[in-house]
């Protein structure tokens, strides 16, 4: 029986290791462990001196690691050096990937022919005494051997062999296996390379498929070739997207909108219907949502608590009128509607009902600009609402940094569990929703539980990568200098108004508080200075986009595409290495295909200057992952590069529909595991013991 138990534990460790690898592959992202964001420092850490600039450690973390290292009392210099590098891996800007489990004290160690830190560690340390060793089997969920009762132990005290040790703590290198990152003894940012064939597309080929001017596009949740389009005044239409290379425009009847709520929407240059979202189970439940602005002077139902209130040291009556203040006359609203009862099933519904089912969220705005308004459902099923800082002169009240304010934030709401009236009052909610248990700022009276991330000025168009759902990218409109794109993570602080992009903006709040001491800021992965694009009206305003995941243009596959409202410009950004968080972008030309279903008007400048798109309001994505541009001159879709004579060696020109997967395209990743690797390991271990007990009985 003992032999079987030992065999079970060995199998258990193998299974745990595999699950750790799988979990890190499905939830990897280019930030720190423990849901921390990267720290920017101009100084090299004193102990973990291999790390400077962007790291996951501050000086306090560095001191704690040094104290832990000193307490191990390692006598051998070679072993000591290796242990130091392993402990300091927690400071790596990509420690969220290096540590297979965020509670693990050490990273996954490279264990392959080309990169083998695990074997090197065994060879140097197997007979060296380590006090409170971080390599104990108990830290992996296994049972410690009898010899580990001492506070000091060697690797051979803890593990039978190098093979057993490296099975538990080792992992393949990134170059030999695409499952996970592993630690090779030096910072990841010193061990990255750019593949020779990773380069931006030669250009983007477009076709015009619609004449309408829309602000939002959402693919139909039933997976069909249909999509919803909405405009700023408050109408939503249901359109049918044609097949690639069909030569026909999209089908949309603007005389018959899916729903018309213009009587509820306050429409102006800064106001209107800013977003729409359809429940992931819309085909079953018919639920959809609109985000818009209302005017309480004109609409009796437009009432909500003002975002300028005593909780955030703001008095609505004292807001300066010359800053455009209209103290909470205008509101940001998220309302729920239904398509139930308009057809035999919501999936076949061609119209929805314009009367509200319930008011999900209402918040009074202090000023008339910078109020965001996009809504979308995340892969987790929760509703995300993007709010701006409220306007005024440079976030005068520092709303974006104040965790008691919902301005300048990304909010995460559960609209499937409706609270009672008493719960709404008790929790201080702003409408009919509940708080997801994993939201980062719950349980603290000085922090609003709705907040998912903070420090944004005016987020305009966010999206989740369809192949890596932990990549949540938002474009944030700058003020005078810089437009940025951020990777949004739980609890992340994106700097405004302390920083505008990478530049220091205002170290002092209007109340005399020094806010520059705020730590753990996350800086943009992409962006551009206004001076680079302000050829049109001296303005710049970034439009967030999508990771291109369509099979239509294989040379754009995996790039992040985004644009500027005024500049008639687009960028393609490449991340290299994959999952590293290191992006480089290139402004790319675009043309309109001669075979476009609708004629494209040429931009001023003659042949080759591209189509006259006018203003680019948003980018959209259909169920085939084809990306669309919503502009003031119509709807454009990205098509095969060869249709515009752009060279793309990866394109299969014999396939007119582009249905084959592009060469080199990554296969869809496995779905995330439902619980942590530690919980799964424990479940596997218990199951194995039960099986062994049953087998011994029979």
Q: First and final CA of the chain: distance in angstroms?
A: 13
Residue 668 has pLDDT above 90, yes or no: no
pLDDT tens for 39-52 read: 655 567 899 988 87
The rounded distance, in Å, linking the Cα atoms of 278 and 281 is 8
CA 458, 461, 464, 465 dihedral sign is: negative
Helix axis angle, 117-125 relative to 77-87, nearest 10°?
140
The contacts of residue 25 (CB under 8 Å, 6+ apart) are 178, 179, 180, 669, 670
Residue 142 has pLDDT above 60, yes or no: no
Helix axis angle, 2-27 relative to 677-697, nearest 10°?
150
Residue with tokens 């001492």: 150
The rounded distance, in Å, linking the Cα atoms of 501 and 482 is 6
- Kindly calculate the radius of gyration of the chain based on its CA atoms and give it in whole angstroms: 27
**HEC profile of 397-461:** CCHHHCCCCCCCEEEEEECCCCCCHHHHHHHCCCCCCECCCCCCCCCCCCCCCCEEEECCCCEEE
Q: How confident is the model at residue 152 (pLDDT cuts 50, 70, 90)?
A: confident
Specify the DSSP element, H or E, that contains 80.
helix 77-87
Cα distances (Å, whole numbers) of residue 8 to 33, 217, 240, 451, 677: 30, 53, 56, 44, 18
CB of 431 closer than 8 Å to CB of 362: yes
At 493 the pLDDT is 95
φ, ψ for residue 384 (rounded to 5)? Answer: -105, 130
In this predicted model, which residue has the larger pLDDT, 163 or 233?
233
* Residue environment code for 508-527, b if the CB has 16+ CB neighbours within 10 A, otherwise e: ebeeeeeeeeeeebbbbbbb
The rounded distance, in Å, linking the Cα atoms of 533 and 197 is 28
Tokens describing residue 442: 């719950």
At 110 the pLDDT is 86
pLDDT tens for 1-14 read: 444 444 544 444 44
At 669 the pLDDT is 38
pLDDT tens for 338-387 read: 999 999 999 999 999 999 999 999 999 999 899 999 999 999 999 999 99
Mean pLDDT computed over 480-487: 95
At 115 the pLDDT is 60
CA angle in degrees (0–180, nearest 5) for 116-122-125:
130
CA 20, 22, 24, 26 dihedral sign is: negative
CB of 621 closer than 8 Å to CB of 463: yes
**Count of all residues that appear for the chain in the document:** 698
In this predicted model, which residue has the larger pLDDT, 207 or 319?
207
Task: Give the closest residue to 365 by CA, choosing from 236, 274, 244.
Answer: 274
CB of 651 closer than 8 Å to CB of 643: no
């Amino acid at each position: 029986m003992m032999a079987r138990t030992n065999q079970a534990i060995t199998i258990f460790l193998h299974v745990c290791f595999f699950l750790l690898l799988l979990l890190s592959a499905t939830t990897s992202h280019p930030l720190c462990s423990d849901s921390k964001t990267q720290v920017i420092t101009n100084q090299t850490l004193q102990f973990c001196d291999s790390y400077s600039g962007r790291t996951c450690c501050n000086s306090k973390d560095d001191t704690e690691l040094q104290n832990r290292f000193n307490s191990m009392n390692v006598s051998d210099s070679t072993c000591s050096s290796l242990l130091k590098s392993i402990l300091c891996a927690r400071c790596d800007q990509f420690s969220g990937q290096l540590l297979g489990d965020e509670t693990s004290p050490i990273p996954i160690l490279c264990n392959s022919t080309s990169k083998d830190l695990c074997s090197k560690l065994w060879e140097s340390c197997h007979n060296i005494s380590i006090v409170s060793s971080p390599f104990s089997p108990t830290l992996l969920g296994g049972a410690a051997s009898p010899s580990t009762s001492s506070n000091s132990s060697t690797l051979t005290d803890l593990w039978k062999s190098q093979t057993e040790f490296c099975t538990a703590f080792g992992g393949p290198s990134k170059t030999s296996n695409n499952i996970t990152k592993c630690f090779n003894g030096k910072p990841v940012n010193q061990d990255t390379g750019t593949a020779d064939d990773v380069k931006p597309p030669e250009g983007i080929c477009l076709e015009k498929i619609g004449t309408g001017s829309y602000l939002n596009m959402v693919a139909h949740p039933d997976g069909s070739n249909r999509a919803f389009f909405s405009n700023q005044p408050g109408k939503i239409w249901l359109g049918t997207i044609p097949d690639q290379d069909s030569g026909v425009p999209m089908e949309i009847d603007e005389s018959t909108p899916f729903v018309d709520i213009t009587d509820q929407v306050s429409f102006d240059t800064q106001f209107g219907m800013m977003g729409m979202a359809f429940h992931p189970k819309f085909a079953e439940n018919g639920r959809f949502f609109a985000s818009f602005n209302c005017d309480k002077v004109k609409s009796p139902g437009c009432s909500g608590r003002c975002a300028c209130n005593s909780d955030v040291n703001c008095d609505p009556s004292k807001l300066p009128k010359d800053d455009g203040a209209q103290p909470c006359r205008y509101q940001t609203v998220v309302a729920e509607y239904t398509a139930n009862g308009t057809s035999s099933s919501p999936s076949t519904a061609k119209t929805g009902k314009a009367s509200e089912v319930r008011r999900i969220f209402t918040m009074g705005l202090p000023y008339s600009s910078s109020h965001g308004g996009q809504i979308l459902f995340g892969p987790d099923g929760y509703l995300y609402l993007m709010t701006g800082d409220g306007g005024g002169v440079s976030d005068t009240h520092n709303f974006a940094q104040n965790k008691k304010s919902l301005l300048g934030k990304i909010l995460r709401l559960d609209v499937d569990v409706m609270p009672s009236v008493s719960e709404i009052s008790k929790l201080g909610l702003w409408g009919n929703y509940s708080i997801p248990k994993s939201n980062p700022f719950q349980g603290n009276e000085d922090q609003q539980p709705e907040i998912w991330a903070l420090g944004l000025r005016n987020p305009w168009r966010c999206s989740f990568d369809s192949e890596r759902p932990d990549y949540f990218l938002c474009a944030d409109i700058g003020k005078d200098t810089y437009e940025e794109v951020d990777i949004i993570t739980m609890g992340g602080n994106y700097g405004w108004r302390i920083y505008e992009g990478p530049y220091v903006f205002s170290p002092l709040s209007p109340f005399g508080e020094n806010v520059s001491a705020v730590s753990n800021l996350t800086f943009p992965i992409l962006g551009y200075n206004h001076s680079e694009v302000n050829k049109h009206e001296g303005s710049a305003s970034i439009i967030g986009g999508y990771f291109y995941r369509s099979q239509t243009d294989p040379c754009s596959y995996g790039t992040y595409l985004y644009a500027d409202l005024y500049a008639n410009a687009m960028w393609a950004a490449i991340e290299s290495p994959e999952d590293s968080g290191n992006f480089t972008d290139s402004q790319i030309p675009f043309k309109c295909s001669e075979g476009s279903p609708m004629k494209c008007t040429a931009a001023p400048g003659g042949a080759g200057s591209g189509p006259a798109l006018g203003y680019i309001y948003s980018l959209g994505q259909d169920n085939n992952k084809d990306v669309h541009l919503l502009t003031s001159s119509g709807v454009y879709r990205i098509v095969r590069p060869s249709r515009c004579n752009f060279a793309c060696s990866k394109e299969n020109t014999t396939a007119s529909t582009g249905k084959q997967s592009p060469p080199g395209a990554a296969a869809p990743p496995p779905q995330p595991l439902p619980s942590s690797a530690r919980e799964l390991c424990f479940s596997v271990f218990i199951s194995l013991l039960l099986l062994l007990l049953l087998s011994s009985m029979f």
